[in-house]
Chain A
Amino acid sequence: MSERAAKVTPADEEQNDDQITDGAAPDAASETDSTANVESETTKPVTTGAEAVVRALENAGVEYAFGVQGGAIMPVYDALYDSDITHVTMAHEQGAAHAADAYGIVSGDPGVCLATSGPGATNLVTGIADADMDSDPIVALTGQVPTEFVGNDAFQETDTTGVTTPVTKDNTFANDADRVGTDVSEAFALAREGRPGPTLVDLPKDITKAETDREPDAPKVPDTYEVQERAAPEIVAAAAERIENAARPVLLLGGGVIKGEASEACREFALEHEIPVITTMPGIGSFPEDHELSLEMAGMHGTGYANMAITHCDTLIGIGTRFDDRLTGGIETFAPDAELIHVDIDPAEISKNIYADYPLVGDAETVVGQLSAAVDSSPEATKWRAQCQQWKSDYSMAYDAPEDEPVQPEFVVEALDEATSDRAIVTTGVGQHQMWACQYWTFTEPRTWVSSHGLGAMGYGLPSAIGARLAADDDQEVVCIDGDGSFLMTLQGLSVAVRENLDITVAVLNNEYIGMVRQWQDAFFEGRHSASDYHWMPEFDKLAEAFGAKGFRIDDYDDVANTIDAAVAYDGPSVIDVHIDPDANVYPMVPSGGDNGQFALTEDQL
């Protein structure tokens, strides 16, 4: 993508008008990439603000854009009509933002979503907030009422930059047709540079309709945005010494490891020095969970062994993690004996929640490289590793699955994992099913786990599967493990999956409850199931068929393997309505604000 961007981007900001009216934009004259413009050899010059917007997308190498039409964004859609960018019409803008988000996670390049002004823009907000919490790169383009109506409460007017300021990395109100293309280019550059995140450009209709011949400038971050790549050598040296002398070291890999393409470097580092590895939830996939050194995920529903290790370590090497409270539990009891080496590209994450004894600001891959070079001898931690293995067997993630009982969700997750390849991509909604997916799917590759971590947005599963499908390789299966409540929130996206014939398998772990809430009510509200009993759920297999997708249903263990195989083999969207044990709960569990080392293994321990 960036390769292509480099080819098509105008080299010179100061283009002269003669060249442009000549019929070929100067940047495109040297165009050799045959995919960029199939029909005409030359790219048509920009004549309107909207065309400049689309040109900026093309320059950035955008293949797909997810959105919904509407009055204020119509000029942009009109310009898209002639573009090679494939627009995927979604059934709801929330889905457009989630699809773009998942596209960004799987491909590493910003996903694009579009919406009209007012309700279109506000519908995007959940997805933008989700991307913001998880540092996922997306570019949101919203229509806006014409400039002269702004501030008058005009039809479908919302102060979109105002509404999205707290949930975007940066946003811009475009007020100049000659600059609007560059605004979009800049939004692209900002979305992926440094700590990734969502950016938004609000596009008043008069600006996109206005005439301009101004080609967008190359994607470039504003001068005021600076990213530090390498950490200070003296702190690296001190941290390296600390690692060499550690008795109980742990590597904690967060989502930043995946986004920073540092998984490989972290694996090498862990293996070379035989350091046990824990991931955060967004860090899943950064280290192979089937490796002996892996203790999997720590935190509220992390494994017992990860939580024991993080609680008892003396040296915690946190990379690309922001120490979210679902990971740390109560701050007072989080890794209380550990000196923290914290690697992050965002200085503001250092000592935000947990004090960093060794702050290492920089790009994860670069800094891990610096650390690798600086660590001369591996820590002597044989006893510690043995202890970690002991915890693995003491607190193993085993479950009962008697034939005569309702299907246990863990079994279904494992069966899905079994039926798909190592590179299969898993997306989820939010709730118990999401936690079972974390716990019982064995992730081995980065960018195969797509979920709503920081925001915890129900409804994320299906739209993100759509985005993931379009970003994934053809031979990668895409499986959405959803909850009945979460699926119900955005299942209109099935219409999109059917229209585009996307090969997605949705497994709805149907307990006719919003199960996670039911679990908390059982534990903390004396079993009073206020508004959590969803016995009025539709039959999801039939609903899928009504949309034109393939529907399946699982009621008992005999159905599991065959049905899953058939659904995965089906070439198109399929939905399995999996009727699981409605009383199944997620363990281990650390109650919010609790002590990670005191995780509960049963309800009695809560």
Chain B
Amino acid sequence: MKRGLDGPAPEERPTPAGRRNKQGIRIDPEVEVTHAPRRTVISALVEHEPGVLSDVSGLFSRRQFNIESLTVGPTEDEDRARMTIVVEETDPGIDQVEKQLRKLVPVISVRELEPDAMRRELALIKVEADRPDQVAAVADMYDGNTVDSSPETATIEVTGARQKIEAAIDTFSQFGIREISRTGTTALARGTDQTAASGTAQSADQANQHRHHTQTADDD
């Protein structure tokens, strides 16, 4: 008995000219576009309620978004918290991160910050104190404060953009680093520009305006 159906076999069928890339974007053969991941900062204003942090972090892990840091803390409004999330994703990936975040019911607003936004991280760096003068000099160089010292160790607090922290750690490593604790990036938009507008959420159509330019932070 016949098994299967009749009709022209695959090789006898016409095939279309076009193609899409992995992100489902049609590829113009003239300009081959590829999307490389980039690092960016997303700020989300959320209801300050139990479970919201796990909602957000769970979303990131189950959708396999590449998260670098996530910080959370209260805001001027005691019912709301701000999460600052540094992600490394392609443009379509960043688009998805924002939209998926916006879908969570306790999330009030979400925004990708402009490259010129203020971004700061705090690090505590505990080093060997064999050469206290030199440690103090390096701390000075990075506007660091010595927040604890003992005969064996000194702990320096450094704040600044991520690169500054990395540079500081690099320089401190000559003394021997015992421990490091970093907070991850927190950020706010510049001037009167609102980081994440409370109340009026961004309209869905705005959210779907595809950005064709790539934002890359300079000071992060």
Contact = CB atoms under 8 A, between A and B. Distances in A.
A353 B40 CA distance: 22
Nearest to A230: B205
A190 B105 contact: yes
Given A173-B50, A173-B51, 13 more contacts: A165-B54, A347-B99, A353-B24, A354-B24, A359-B210, A362-B204, A395-B7, A398-B5, A597-B16, A598-B13, A600-B4, A603-B4, A605-B9
- Contact residues of B: prevailing secondary structure: loop
A142 to B, nearest CB: 15
Given A224-B47, A308-B13, A336-B16, A331 B205 contact: no
Given A225-B105, A347-B208, A394 B7 contact: yes
Contacts of A405: 1
Closest 6 CB pairs of A and B: A602-B4, A336-B18, A348-B99, A361-B204, A354-B24, A232-B205
Interface residues of B, number: 50
B17 to A, nearest CB: 6
Nearest to A408: B1
Contacts of B51: 161, 165, 173
A304 interface: yes
Contacts of B2: 400
A9 interface: no
Interface of B: 1-10, 13-26, 47, 50-51, 54-55, 58, 62, 92, 95-96, 99-100, 102-108, 201, 203-205, 207-208, 210
A396 interface: yes
B24 A355 contact: yes
A394 B13 CA distance: 11
Contacts, number: 145
Nearest to B198: A224
Contacts of A603: 3-4
B26 A355 contact: yes
A333 B19 contact: yes
A350 interface: yes
A311 B5 contact: no
B25 A355 contact: yes
Given A222-B105, A224-B105, A337-B17, A351 B201 contact: no
A326 B112 CA distance: 32
A585 to B, nearest CB: 7
Given A173-B51, A222-B105, A228-B204, A311 B16 contact: yes
Interface in A314-356: 323, 331-334, 336-339, 346-348, 350-356
A588 interface: yes
Contacts of B92: 351, 355
B96 A347 contact: no
Given A304-B5, A395-B5, A599 B16 contact: no
Interface string A565-606: 000000000000000000101011000000001111111110
Contacts of A402: 1
Contacts of A354: 20, 24
A166 interface: yes
A211 interface: no
B3 to A, nearest CB: 6
Contacts of B10: 597-600, 605
A402 B50 CA distance: 65
15 contacts: A162-B54, A169-B105, A228-B203, A347-B102, A347-B204, A348-B102, A351-B95, A359-B205, A361-B204, A361-B208, A394-B7, A399-B5, A598-B10, A601-B7, A605-B4
Contacts of B24: 323, 331, 334, 351, 353-355
B3 A597 contact: no
* Residue with the highest number of chain A CB atoms closer than 10 Å, among B4, B92, B106: B4
